[in-house]
Structure 1
């Protein structure tokens, strides 16, 4: 089963310094029918003004992944970790038993755009931790590049305490890629740029998404070129 969510169906909030789109129920947006997709609890598409951001605030029992699409994002937390991430970088934080962190745009000129995702952990009581990884952007070309997974095979892939994998891909014009999936698992698809055709049946444009269940093979193609994120979920 494939359910398409157009970009304009997302909740939008404009706080001046922050413009944000919520794919799932979050903060002032509440929808009991749109709380999660498997362990994927939050997907926010955030645009933060220069020298602004989210001040120190607590988290607990959540796996938090931030993917920078444009600009810079600075992270600091109560474990003593701090880092600045740009496009090609991933921030993963396990909030576990409790952590305080902040995320700020350190640039005085450029807006930062990043995706922040929250995932329910596979178990509670995890010791808080933070990790910054960098992937090779050219490896996204006509491939599904893993950038976050439970059992990473290289230092370019962030670890997460959940049985999932986040892939990033950049398809050239008229290229098709196949993804094999177990029918009992879920697949989440999110278009970052351009346009794709899913199963030669569904057209998804920029920031459209698809929630997919009971499908063991996906065909993704583009006539224009596209960047997208695919998440393999339990």
Structure 2
């Protein structure tokens, strides 16, 4: 089954320094019918103005992944980590028993756009940790490139304490991919840019998403080209 969530259906807020779009209940947006999809609890599409950002604030018992799409994002936390990430990099933070962090745009001229994803962890009481990884952007071409996984197979894949895998892809016109998984699992697809067709008939456009169940083989194609994220999730 494929449930399509159009970009225009997302909750939107404009705070001046931050323009954000929420795919799930978050902050002042609450919908009891839109809390999570499997362990995927938050997907925020954030645009942060130059020299602005989220000041120091706490988190507990959550796996937080940030994927920068454009610009630069500077992270700093109470475990002593500080790093700047741009496209081609992923940061993963395990809040565990408690961590304080900030996420700001260090550029004086350029807006940063990043996807903020929260996942419920497999277990509570983890020691807080932070990781920044870099992936080979060129390997996204006409392939599903894993960038976050429970069991990373290379140094370019961030480790997450949940049975999920996040893939990124640049699918060119005239190409097609098929993703397979066990029947009891779920798939979440988010189109970053372009158009993407699922199973030959479900058309997604830029920033549309799909929540997919009971589909062990998913066919992905495009008319003009697509950059997208695919998440393999447990029930």
TM-score category by the smaller chain?
Answer: over 0.9
> How far off its partner does 1:160 sit?
0.1
- Residue aligning to 1:149: 149
TM-score, normalised via structure 1 length: 1.00
Taking the TM superposition and a 5 Å limit, the aligned residue runs for 1:1-234 are 1-234=1-234
Residue 223 of structure 1: CA displacement?
Answer: 1.2
Alpha-carbon separation, structure 2, partners of 1:107 and 1:29: 29
Structure 1 moving runs of 4+ over 2 Å: none
Give the CA RMSD over aligned residues. Answer: 0.4
Question: 1:75: Cα distance to partner?
Answer: 0.1
CA shift at 1:30, angstroms? 0.4
> In 1, distance between residues paired with 2:35 and 2:174?
35
Q: Secondary structure at the match of 1:27?
A: coil
Aligned residues: 234
In the TM superposition, residue 35 of structure 1 has moved relative to its aligned partner by 0.2
Specify every segment of 5 or more residues in structure 2 that has no aligned partner in the other structure, as ranges.
Answer: none
Alignment partner of 2:139: what SS?
helix
Task: Encode CA deviations 1:21-70: one digit per residue, 9 max, x unaligned.
Answer: 00000000000000000000000000000000000000000000000000
Rounded to whole Å, the distance in 2 between the matches of 1:68 and 1:136 is: 14
Deviations along 1:132-170, one digit per CA (max 9) or x if unpaired, are: 000010000000000000000111000000000000000
